[in-house]
Copies of this chain bind each other. A is one copy, B any other.
Amino acid sequence: MIAFPANRIPTDEAGERDWLRLARSERIGPVTFAELMRRYPTAGEALEALSDLAARGGAKRKVRVADAALVMREYEAAQAAGAQMLMLGSSAYPLNLARVEAAPPLLWCLGNSSVARPEMVAIVGARNASALGLRFTETLARALGEQGHAIASGLARGIDAAAHRGALETGTVAVLAGGVDRPWPPQNADLYDAIREKGAVLSERPMGYEGRARDFPRRNRIVSGLARGIVVAEGAERSGSLITARYAGEQGRDVMAVPGSPLDPRAGGCNLLIREGATLIRHADDVTEALTHLHADTAMLESEDEPWDAPMAQDDEALRLTVMELLGPHPTPVDDIVRRSGASSGFVSLVLLELDLAGRLQREPGGSGGLVG
């Protein structure tokens, strides 16, 4: 769900740069970004308010707003590379991803952003895949493409590359852990070029940023977030692909897996997922059938239209203290705090925003939080 009104999306370059600068500033995660854009009409006004908010939250020092020159450099690099900025809430932003909890405020896109359409399937799996697994994956991706699905993956060696290759002509999206202009790994440089030309390369990271292992989990959540469902084509029992699949399940994605012999360790993760309830995939039709069940659920989200909180009077110190006292070292659901404090949910989320910007809040998935200092 996008938690702020669509009229927050900037329409000029200065507004885009403010949006980028806010996203690159200290302590501005996706949840905080969305909360700010709910309360301020533009990213520029949110940037101006950061210091005051953090101060009210008890910050020991000022929030470090991203350096304007650095942000200008990133923006210009993107323009030079021909990268498009996809802002959360805009029509160019991938719809499936926009509905995910903590969706990235912005993505850079090289290529054709419309390839990231709702009919997308993520395919992930082992880098050291078997010849059989690679062949199966490429065939599956091609068949899914012919059935109208675009294919999302992570441009890694092995299964990822096979998935992109199979879907190159019908539509594929590569999500990078580094900047969109930093293809990785080197052996997939040609594939990267082909995807840039025929599909789309996406990243939430700054232009020029070199991805590291610790960036992979967030990259993987974007891969699955883009898609309706995720297919694990080959993966061991303790593998990144298995973790990605579990996160995808938490995102509400249909989790699917390709079985293999129990004597093949590369099938261990897939077989385990199937035992845990993932759909066993034999061919593209199995994927299409599984996804048909989901269509009805997601269609209704389109019409969601909740009232937005206006920025409100922020001088109720007694109530602010009450809310803060209810937050302990253990994460507490926001609903609990609202109920126990008697404050409005808008006021509670404001106090949380202030604490967050002050570096004193630990946000947890599902909307709960705990104090860290």
Q: Which residues of A contact B (CB under 8 A)?
A: 132-133, 135-136, 258-263, 267-268, 271-272, 274-275, 279-283, 286
Please indicate the chain B residues that have their CB under 8 angstroms from the CB of A263 in the complex.
Answer: 132, 135-136
Q: Which of B133, B136, B262, B279 is within 8 Å of A282, CB to CB? A: B262
Q: Which of B260, B268, B280 is within 8 Å of A274, CB to CB? A: B280
Question: A138 → chain B, closest Cβ, in Å?
Answer: 12
Please indicate the chain B residues that have their CB under 8 angstroms from the CB of A261 in the complex.
Answer: 132-133, 136, 258-261, 267
Cα-based distance from A282 to B259 in the complex (angstroms): 11
Query: B286 near A282 (CB under 8 angstroms)?
Result: no
Beta-carbon nearest neighbor of A237 in chain B: B282
Beta-carbon nearest neighbor of A273 in chain B: B280
Please indicate the chain B residues that have their CB under 8 angstroms from the CB of A283 in the complex.
Answer: 262
The 4 closest A-B pairs by CB, nearest first: A259-B259, A262-B282, A275-B280, A274-B280
Cα-based distance from A261 to B9 in the complex (angstroms): 47
Please indicate the chain B residues that have their CB under 8 angstroms from the CB of A272 in the complex.
Answer: 282
Given the known inter-chain contacts A260-B259, A261-B132, A261-B261, please indicate yes or no for A271 contacting B282, CB distance below 8 A.
yes
Query: B281 near A259 (CB under 8 angstroms)?
Result: no
Cα-based distance from A62 to B268 in the complex (angstroms): 63
